[in-house]
Amino acid sequence: MNKYLFYPGCSMESNAKAYMESMHTILEPLDIHFEDIDDWNCCGATEYLGINLIPAYSLIARNLALASKQINGTHTIAASCSACYLNLSKADHYMRERPSLCVKVNEALAAGGLKYKPGTLEVRHLIDILVYDIGLEVIRSKVTRPLTGLRVVPYMGCMLPRPDYKHRWSDHEHPTELNDLLRALGADVVDYPLTTECCSGHMPHIGPETAFELIRRLVSDADARGGHLMVSVCPMCQMNIDAYQGEMNHFFDTNYHMPILFFTQLMGLAFGKEPKELGIGTELVSSRNALANIGVEVPVEQEPARPRRKDEGLPMPRRWTKHEARKDAVK
């Protein structure tokens, strides 16, 4: 029995529900037990750090303090979201590097009856645990439905292999962990140099032009390399590439259809689970055609209605595209 503390993070309960469901289906066959940190709070993502330093680190450290009270045979926290993973490890690392930060954060925590000594816990990502603790051999032995013939694009994202305070990853820019894992499942792994490029994080809400350009690079390259689908290890990456692909397509007047699934969903499929148990079908860019390559049938669900291309009927604000932005510039 491999036991770990688990920090789910807010996305796992909403936009990345499929990640949570599929993760739980693969834990059992691999003999892993996750114990949730009781009453965990948001890690603050990339937003809180840009507002106030001490409150941001106190917010993160509350989770570490709560987890350190639950240490029972393990002192490792597993996180499934790259941003949560980074924030938790960042707080632990900087509290050690800068003792004055540690003192202040602990003073704030003390107001709530908590304390945290940096170094008490080890923060690790789910894929790190699967590849290095469980091992690819064990994972390979559980495969009952190899993903042979499925061309997958491994997309690692940026916040996982970087900045890498504890030197856990094989490389900062071209790590191989995800590729190795997917290969162990029998998938045909596409060589994807953009694997650790940024998905744009929260940029779709801040500077959509900047965000769409980053999403376009990732999707167009995955498409040009003949990938059937992309594979993600982070709720934020999945959300940006899946949910904003439609708006990005409209913005650039392109027509990409690049589904993106979580690696746990593919592991579940390879372990012989049914798509329904794995939350397959909740992605907005349907993976139905991609999964047909390995003979997996995804139940048909009604596709969301396409927006009208032409302004007809009642006067509505025109949809904003790069083309129109250019036309406005010429005027």
Site for other proteins in 148-207 (CB under 8 A): 158-159, 162-164, 172-173, 197-198, 200-203, 205-207
CB 62 within 8 Å of CB 112? yes
Provide the minimum distance between the beta carbon of 101 and other proteins in the complex, in angstroms, as a whole number: 6
Query: Measured from the CB of residue 258, what is the shortest distance to other proteins in angstroms?
Result: 15
Min. distance of Cβ 160 from other proteins in angstroms? 10
Sole binder of other proteins in the list 35, 75, 114, 133 (CB under 8 A): 114
Name the minimum Å distance from CB 3 to other proteins.
24
- Which CB, 96 or 183, lies closer to other proteins? 96
Task: Give the residue with the Cβ less far from other proteins, 65 or 185.
Answer: 65
CA dist list (Å): 49 to 55, 69, 87: 8, 25, 9
Task: Scan residues 268-287 and list those touching other proteins (CB under 8 A).
Answer: 281-282, 284
Instruction: State the nearest-atom distance from the C-beta of 283 to other proteins, in Å.
Output: 8
**Closer residue to other proteins in complex, CB, 104/151:** 104
Count the site residues for other proteins by CB under 8 A: 80
Determine if residue 234 is left, alpha or beta; phi over 0 gives left, psi from -120 to 50 gives alpha, anything else beta: beta
Q: Which stretch binds other proteins (CB under 8 A): 12-20, 148-156, 181-189, 288-296?
A: 12-20
CA distances to 26, 202, 209, 214 from 244, rounded to whole Å, are 28, 11, 12, 11
Please select the residue that binds other proteins; options are 3, 36, 41, 289, rule is CB under 8 A. Answer: 41
Residue choice 2, 24, 55, 221 for contact with other proteins (CB under 8 A): 55
* Cβ at position 46, least distance to other proteins in Å: 5
What is the separation of C-alpha 127 from the centre of its chain, rounded to a whole number of angstroms? 11
When the beta carbons of 115 and 142 are compared against other proteins, the nearer one is 115
Based on the shown chain and the rule CB under 8 A, indicate whether residue 209 belongs to the binding site for other proteins.
Answer: yes
d(CA 31, CA 132): 15
Q: Does 208 bind other proteins (CB under 8 A)?
A: yes
* Site stretch for other proteins (CB under 8 A), options 134-142, 182-190, 267-275, 312-320: 312-320
- Nearest CA to 182 among 97, 267, 299? 267
How many Å apart are CA 155 and CA 200, to the nearest integer?
13
In what helix (H) or strand (E) does residue 248 lie, and over which residues does it extend? helix 245-252
- What are the residues whose beta carbons fall under 8 Å from the beta carbon of 319, sequence distance 6 or more? 250, 307
Binds other proteins (CB under 8 A): choice among 47, 191, 274, 297: 47
Residue 14: alpha-carbon gap to chain centroid = 13
- The rounded distance, in Å, linking the Cα atoms of 172 and 225 is 22
**Number of separate helices (H) and strands (E) present in the chain:** 13, 8
H/E stretch holding 2: strand 2-7
What is the DSSP code (8-state) at residue 9? -
Shortest Cβ 96–other proteins spacing (Å): 9
78-107 positions binding other proteins, by CB under 8 A? 90, 93-94, 97-98, 101, 104-105, 107
Question: Binding to other proteins by residue 50, rule CB under 8 A?
Answer: yes
Tokens of 296: 């997996």
